[in-house]
Amino acid sequence: MSVKETAKYLNMSVPWVYREAVRAGLVPYKFGCGRNVKLQFKVAEVQAWVKQQRLPGD
């Protein structure tokens, strides 16, 4: 999924995905290089990451 789709799925901003996703534990896949690089995320990995963020008892 694209950065925009990932941001929408997570209910976060696009800049958050670019700035914080890696620090938060999401793994981006880079296509291209330099200023033309495109980030993509695997749907299954994003969904697994969301499940890991749940608080105990939820």
Give the C-alpha separation, 40 to 6, whole Å: 8
For the full predicted model, state whether its pTM sits above 0.75: yes
Place of tokens 């929408």: 8
Each domain of the chain, given as residue ranges in start order, spans 3-52
Least confident interval from 11-15, 20-24, 51-55: 51-55
Place of tokens 């749940």: 54
Flag whether pLDDT at 57 surpasses 80. Answer: no
Give the C-alpha separation, 41 to 2, whole Å: 6
Give the C-alpha separation, 48 to 58, whole Å: 15
One-letter amino acid at 37 equals: V
- According to the model, what pLDDT value does residue 35 have? 87
Confidence class for position 58, pLDDT limits 50, 70, 90: low
